[in-house]
Amino acid sequence: MKNLKKKKASAQNTQKGSKKRFSVESDPFFNEDNDLKRRKRFGDDEDIESSDDSEDIYGSDDEGVDRNERKDEEEEEEEETAAEKRKRLAETFLHSMRESKRKEEEERESGEEYDREEREAMRDSWMVDMLQKEQMEGSGRSRKAIASRIQKPTEGFHLLVKHRQSVTAVTLSDDDLKGFSSSKDGTIVSWDVDSGKTEKYAWPTDEALKSHGAKEPQGRATKHSKHVLALAVSSDGRYLASGGLDRHIHLWDVRTRQHIKAFPGHKGPVSCLTFRQGSSELFSGSFDRSIKIWNVEDRAYVNTLFGHQSEVLTIDSLRKERVLTVGRDRTMHLWKVPEESQLIFRAPATSLECCCFINNDEFLSGSDDGSIEHWNVTRKKPVHIVKNAHASLQSVGIEQSNGALSNGHMENGTLNPQCHSSSALSWVSALTVCRNSDLAASGAGNGSVQLWTIENESKGIRPLFELPVAGFINSLVFSKSGQFLVAAVGQEPRLGRWGRIADVRNGVFVHPLKHS
């Protein structure tokens, strides 16, 4: 374990010891031609408008967010200890649960009569059972058996939302009713899961961005398009966070779709974002090799975590104060935030590309050699490795559905990955797990999304079904119920242009999952 370094000391050490600064010219992502040719529309589908590709970048200052802004307020009020805060939050949670149960009982029509003491006893018993179940699911000791009930697919992915350029991120609200997606052209849209009706997020003016906290360009970073690389939505559905090449985290109000805050501080593109479940705590990863913690409710910077020796690519978190990150330094870090420590897991022989939690003690990672690793927190080596997870597309017996699919042809193009020579096609570029269940999914650029069954007692994963969809799978997310899977598909990989499949659609694709 390594001690996490405080922000100020770490920033100084990084400035002294670093010999190589992040360069816009050295990153392949900045070589994109701004004069992209307009693509033809596909049938009657409507294009989503793209934002300007050549707006100024707002670089960050080296000190990040000024932590003294609320100094006067902090001096006026007595500081709350960590134990007092935990007690207060627990009491608030228990009170809300009791009130919810009481209202449910009042509304329920029942012929039986209970006195007040009996009702309170039943309510407390129900609450204890619910908390025990949640604790067991969070620790992985209790896992919903969904994978065994998934029926053999008879239909494929269908296009729900079309984007003009490659889709880089997709996420769902906690109630699974609304989705959010972003693309390389700076477009951010929300959409209804059932109807696909979209609403666009409008970027504010340069003056408005500055008033919301954005900083002026610094160093060589003076101009680029507003590529969005990452999205995250809070558990309460109030906030949407986005990050990209302008080195800022942008906070949006989901109800009004208005920009409300820009967090500076990162010195490289913001590559990944995640909200801690049930809280307003936001974690961001960047090409500057750091992970930063923010409190979106207070609009405040909290801390910086240092440890990666190269760009941070993917990040994930659950309800517990733990963060999982993957970097180009062939390592995966499990950060234990309260203890200010970290566990480092090194890839056996290749570079890691993505990661996700199964539960607090188990997680998955995907590599650029096409393998998927199953890890346990007690071991420094993978407990199970699936090699060539996306090496070839195996038929799953999908029948033709409304002319969209027919043994090798898909709605999103032609399934013929051999005609593309890029090695990026076999990279495992996206991973997701249906929370508190035994169902996982992975995606690559060779025309497939693979469903996996997670076996108990860390025995590994085994393939379930392979779902064809042409294009690079840049992001995946399950609905909470496991009733459908959403994929962000693009002609190019999320973080670069080292591969391209020109004859596929950029968009959000949905695959229904029928349960027995």
pLDDT tens per residue, range 185-204: 999 999 999 999 999 999 99
Locus of tokens 């984007």: 163
Fold (CATH) for 158-390+422-512: Methylamine Dehydrogenase; Chain H (2.130.10)
Say how far apart CA 478 and CA 187 lie, in whole Å: 22
Predicted pLDDT at 92: 74
Token duo for residue 403:
């002319």
Predicted pLDDT at 86: 64
Give the amino acid at 27: D
Predicted pLDDT at 252: 97
Predicted pLDDT at 97: 67
pLDDT in tens, 500-514: 888 899 999 999 999
The percentage of residues in the chain with a pLDDT greater than 90, rounded to a whole number, is 50
* Whole-number average pLDDT of the chain: 77
Taking 70 as the threshold, does the pLDDT of residue 408 lie above it? no
Q: pTM of the predicted model, to two decimals?
A: 0.72
Locus of tokens 């919301």: 212
| Least confident piece of the model among 424-428, 448-452, 490-494 | 424-428
Which among 40, 70, 36, 75 is positioned nearest to 54, based on CA atoms? 36
Taking 50 as the threshold, does the pLDDT of residue 13 lie above it? no
Taking 50 as the threshold, does the pLDDT of residue 29 lie above it? no
Token duo for residue 58:
């707002």
Q: Give me the count of residues in the chain.
A: 516
Predicted pLDDT at 302: 95
Give the mean pLDDT of 474-484.
95
Domain ranges within the chain, ordered by starting residue? 158-390+422-512
Exposed, middle or buried, 299 (CB in 10 Å: 0-12/13-18/19+)? middle
Give the amino acid at 331: T
* Max mean pLDDT range (40-49, 380-389, 416-425): 380-389
Instruction: Using alpha carbons, list the distances in angstroms from residue 490 to 42, 126, 505.
Output: 15, 46, 7
Taking 60 as the threshold, does the pLDDT of residue 489 lie above it? yes
pLDDT in tens, 447-473: 789 999 999 877 889 999 999 999 999
Say how far apart CA 492 and CA 484 lie, in whole Å: 24
Predicted pLDDT at 225: 60
Token duo for residue 408:
């090798």
Predicted pLDDT at 394: 42
pLDDT in tens, 308-320: 999 999 999 999 9
Give the mean pLDDT of 130-143.
58
The percentage of residues in the chain with a pLDDT greater than 70, rounded to a whole number, is 65
Say how far apart CA 507 and CA 87 lie, in whole Å: 45
Give the mean pLDDT of 84-106.
68
Say how far apart CA 33 and CA 242 lie, in whole Å: 23
Give the mean pLDDT of 249-272.
95
Predicted pLDDT at 329: 93
Cross-strand bridge partners of residue 461: 454
Give the mean pLDDT of 122-141.
59
Q: In which band, very low, low, confident or very high, does the pLDDT at 82 lie, cut at 50, 70 and 90?
A: low
